[in-house]
Chain A
Amino acid sequence: MRESRGGSERLRLAWITVGPGAFWLLLFVLIPTLLMFVASLLSRGDFGTLSLPLGLRNYLRFFSDPVYLEIIGLSVWIGFWSTLLTIVLGYPLAFYIAGSKRKQVLLLMVIIPFFTNFLIRVYAWIVILQKEGLVNAFITAFGLPPADLFPSTFAVYLASVYTYLPFFVLPLYAAVERIDWSLLEAAYDLGAPPVRAFWEAIFPQTVPGLFAGFLLTFIPAVGTFVISDLLGGGKVVLIGNLIQQQFTSAQNWAFGSAVSMILMALVLLGLWLYARTQGERGMDQLV
């Protein structure tokens, strides 16, 4: 491209453009993560501060206590099932939007909840599910006893699906938009019945979007502490709640850091598997 121009000039420009961003990410992303790793090897000192000696006792504590293993199991379990429910709701929706004449309007209708404040969306479910809420007003109008819907695990599922649905629909929609429908015609011409034609000609084309949407739903659902905190009312303790407790009420930053490292390892493992199957283009699709 510009090889003819001076190499030192190019080096200077590379520094000017990349330098500030690289420096910022080093200072506020990479170094804090390393700090978190070091903190996870330390112990709780007096007044909740970090203190020596170094060791793996926080990790040993986590993996030897069934309570913590249950917490991580529950986080993955709830994250997985709410993601699956999100797919059930969102997958057909993406097809409907892509096939509609009013695409722009429908897309905007998905984007509006997406950009509506996260806490408001969670809060709205309290209003609907609480004892004096909308659902119970409806039930009691028929003379039935009010249901105990909030706080509950059910409420956590519902709010998770609700919160992450737009996260899933938007990347999937991008994939559905690019579908080559002539493959469906080809499948029909070759005598495939409709279900098989869809499964073999259309579904594979949506797989990259499906993966991207899955990750964008699953990762925040596993890491959440707000939804479980507000809608689980202390009954539902996920890995995010455990981390938050260690940094607030329990004041054990060392253990909290270790749990965060475990959460991050879990996420990076998922990301690595994704990158292996989807490659660089797949990574871009995540944004």
Chain B
Amino acid sequence: MPAPKARGAWTNWSEPGGNRNSTPSYAYLERIMKRLLSVYAWLVFAFLYLPIVVIVALSFNKSRYGVSWTGFTLEWYSRLFANERVLEYLGNTLVVATVSTTVSTIIGTLLAVGLVRYRFRLQNGLRYLLYTTVVVPDIVMGISLLLLFAEVRSLIGWPRLSLLTIILGHISFQIAYVTLVVRARLMLLDPALEEAALDLGANNWRTFREVTLPLISPGVVSGALLAFSLSLDDFVVTFFTSGSGSTTLPLYIYSAVKLGVSPEIHALSTLMVGATILVLVLGVLFWRNRG
């Protein structure tokens, strides 16, 4: 397939716009449609970015109320950093995301390997359980976990709603995402590579570590990144599984927003948006360098 690539650039008849000379009457129409499409698309992009731009701009605005620009200031940022509670909430958020991502990546990767490599009873049931976990509204997951923790606690006096229960909740939805992402990668893998390693005398563990794992590592990293960002972003499951002393940043933003709009929240949001963009751009550059 890839052989005639150089010639294909000139005679690529399957490309849109390639065979237009047979139907010249539409060429003009198509140009207009393309122009309209690009105007429309950039309006949608403007819609996607307007709220973000507004928040970022207002975070540097001197005026505490309203949207009129009264001068540049970093006051809201310095107030934010002086707020020790916010730093504590940031710490909680990162602890939850790190621990839950580590556990769910390990369990989810193993589960993906098992699902693809072995046949066992209830396999289809397990697969549908994974799909359901991904699709079911998070409020259902949140309250069912709340019920579980409340019932277990009334029986054995443990666990109190805390960072631990939040972490247990996050792992539960992360596993499904990690498994499905890694599984997609595994299904592209040629099983002959693993068989060759086994035939050459490597044991199962060594084959997994030195053949399978390096080959699926892009999937594992993508799964882990997805799990991490889902944890950082999660509000609903956290809302129902947190107790006093286990506030995360999304919970804090929610309670602050209920009290009203404030420039400190603009500043916090701007920093979080900045961190998101930084991580995504670094991620893209990382993947591009790896080919």
Q: Contact at A17–B113, with CB atoms within 8 Å?
A: yes
User: A185–B33 Cα gap in the complex (Å)?
Assistant: 17
- Given A18-B111, A18-B120, 7 new contacts (CB under 8 A): A13-B204, A35-B144, A119-B235, A123-B257, A189-B23, A226-B254, A260-B144
Q: Enumerate chain B interface residues (CB-CB to A < 8 A).
A: 13-16, 18-19, 22-23, 26, 29-30, 33-34, 37-38, 40-41, 44-45, 47-52, 54-55, 58, 65-68, 106-108, 110-111, 113-115, 117-118, 120, 126, 129-141, 143-148, 151, 168-169, 171-172, 175-177, 179-181, 184, 191, 195, 198, 204, 229, 232-233, 235-236, 240, 249-250, 253-254, 257-258, 261, 265-266, 269, 272-273, 276-277, 279-281, 284
Q: List 5 A-B contacts (CB under 8 A).
A: A13-B117, A115-B279, A118-B235, A128-B51, A247-B146
* Identity of the chain A residue whose Cβ is nearest the Cβ of B252 in the assembled complex: A119
Q: Contact at B118–A13, with CB atoms within 8 Å?
A: yes
User: A220–B145 Cα gap in the complex (Å)?
Assistant: 18
User: A39–B114 Cα gap in the complex (Å)?
Assistant: 34
Q: Contact at B137–A240, with CB atoms within 8 Å?
A: yes
Digitize A159-188: 1 where CB-to-B-CB distance is under 8 Å, 0 elsewhere: 000100110000000000000111011001
Q: Which residues of B contact A134 (CB under 8 A)?
A: 54, 67
Q: Which residues of B contact A142 (CB under 8 A)?
A: none
Q: Contact at B54–A124, with CB atoms within 8 Å?
A: yes
Q: Contact at B118–A116, with CB atoms within 8 Å?
A: no
Q: Contact at A226–B235, with CB atoms within 8 Å?
A: yes
* Identity of the chain A residue whose Cβ is nearest the Cβ of B146 in the assembled complex: A247
Query: What is the minimal beta-carbon distance from B133 to any residue of chain A, in angstroms?
Result: 6
Q: Enumerate chain A interface residues (CB-CB to B < 8 A).
A: 1-2, 5, 9-10, 13-14, 16-18, 20-22, 24-25, 28-33, 35-36, 39, 89-90, 92-93, 95-97, 99, 104, 108-113, 115-128, 130, 132-134, 137, 162, 165-166, 180-182, 184-185, 188-189, 194, 215, 219-220, 222-226, 230, 240, 243-244, 247, 253, 256-257, 260, 263-264, 267-268, 271, 283-284, 286-287
